[in-house]
Chains A and B, each alone.
Chain A
Amino acid sequence: MQQAESVLEEWLRARGETPTAETSEGFRLLALHRQGARGSPSFNACRETCREIAYHYNLLAGSPGDRQFREKMMGLLVEHLKLFVRGKLEVEGLGEFCCSSRPLRLESGAQETETPHG
């Protein structure tokens, strides 16, 4: 859970924000996600990943019987969140959602800026 939170903290710091210490539905992770998606709707593409992490956290606490499986799944979920946020940071740095639009922008003399995602 801490690793997942630290991934979202990185996203928020990169945007010049202070990561919240508050919780949403009992999880700081979900509050961090809500903060991170503010003004960036495409960040909601990792909302369910965050919710699944919280869900698995609850399952781990509630049913220690299948602990090994849940821990593995939680690890994969956190890895996915990390990869998604890393990709988002890189894309924001590039300023392009889809490289096929780049020639159009350069031709029109437009600056490469952040563009809304689908």
Chain B
Amino acid sequence: MSKYQKVAYYPGCALEGTAHAYNRSTKVLGGALGLELDEVKNWNCCGAMEVKNVDPKVQTYLSSRVMSIAANEMGASVVMAPCNGCYHNLKKAEHDLAHDAGSREVVDRISKKAGHPTYRAGQVETIHALDWIKDGVGEDELRRRVRNSLKGLKVANYYGCMYTRPRHIFPEKDQGPGSESTSKPHFMDDLLAAAGAENVDFPLKTACCGGAHTLSDSDTSTKLVLNILRAAEAAGADVIATECPTCHSGLEMHQVRAEKVLGQKTKVKMLYFTQLLGIALGLSPRKLGVHENVSDGLQLLKEKDLV
């Protein structure tokens, strides 16, 4: 049995809000694949960008509290975070606690004040939803379970920036065959190919979506997203597969804004990779929350005879 068969699940705030469909499809997909999720009890914000901006060590503490609950209260050895921001921040906290005495001191002090055990580096392994499916199930098993092949669907796989950067907080990546690459990530490509999809040659798979300044400088964000959408279309994609709630929301919202503000219309759709894999397993679009997406993926799925 894979060590990822049962994991502590840390959805994070985005999956309870704008990315509800990602939360829903992750849970439904896991269930269909025989994987178990045990949600982290009383979890808190990972510190995202706002807290990190004010005090990076407080962000380290916030992320460490999530890992402390998983390790010390739930007895978990693996925490799975489908959100790139959460995944990145937990990995960063892990790295800082392993390498920085100042971070350890701050985390210990706040943890004692908050009345919970201090998290120690190495108590849990943090993984992304892509690792969970890739290592917990694998392409061969996934291929065997496909009931509704994605054959004929051309997919641009978009990973965003936080899944692979900075490289030093992901020591398990770039370890040769079988491991994820930080320069050309491929786990999502591998899984969707196993589900029958045709992955297109998409050069902007880790490019900036402008999510960081979507509020302070919306026009730049819109132009960055528009460029990603155009590149996906130029590569022949019908759909952009996503694995980050911030990127996904950004692509959807700025696609609408690009049309309204810049008069630039693009047709490519956005679907979470969990939704696409769920469709391949024969799950209904409603169960996977496709109707919750802003981008009308359902129409595309109908056109491709996938529903």
Contact = CB atoms under 8 A, between A and B. Distances in A.
Interface string B198-214: 00010110111010110
A33 B241 CA distance: 28
Interface in A20-62: 41, 44-46, 48-49, 51-52, 55-56
Contacts of B85: 118
A99 B215 contact: yes
Given A44-B166, A77-B204, A87 B215 contact: no
Contacts of B223: 83
Interface in A75-112: 76-77, 79-80, 83-84, 86-87, 90-91, 94, 96-101, 104
Contact of B207 (A48, A94, A99, A118): A48
B216 interface: yes
Given A76-B231, A83-B224, A91-B217, A98 B208 contact: no
A3 interface: no
A98 B162 CA distance: 16
A49 B231 contact: no
A51 B213 CA distance: 24
Contacts of B213: 87, 90-91, 97-98
Q: Contact residue range for chain B?
A: 35 or more
A80 B212 contact: no
B49 A84 contact: no
Interface in B51-106: 52-54, 56, 85, 88
A83 B208 CA distance: 10
Given A56-B203, A83-B220, A91-B217, A101 B208 contact: no
Contacts of B228: 80
Contacts of A101: 50, 53-54
B52 A51 contact: no
A86 B220 contact: yes
Shortest Cβ-Cβ A-B pairs, 6 listed: A87-B220, A99-B216, A52-B203, A76-B231, A48-B206, A101-B53
21 contacts: A45-B165, A49-B204, A69-B234, A73-B203, A73-B235, A76-B227, A80-B204, A80-B207, A83-B210, A83-B220, A87-B208, A87-B220, A91-B212, A91-B217, A94-B217, A98-B53, A98-B216, A100-B50, A101-B50, A116-B56, A118-B49
Given A84-B224, A98-B50, 7 more contacts: A52-B204, A69-B234, A87-B213, A87-B217, A87-B224, A100-B50, A118-B88
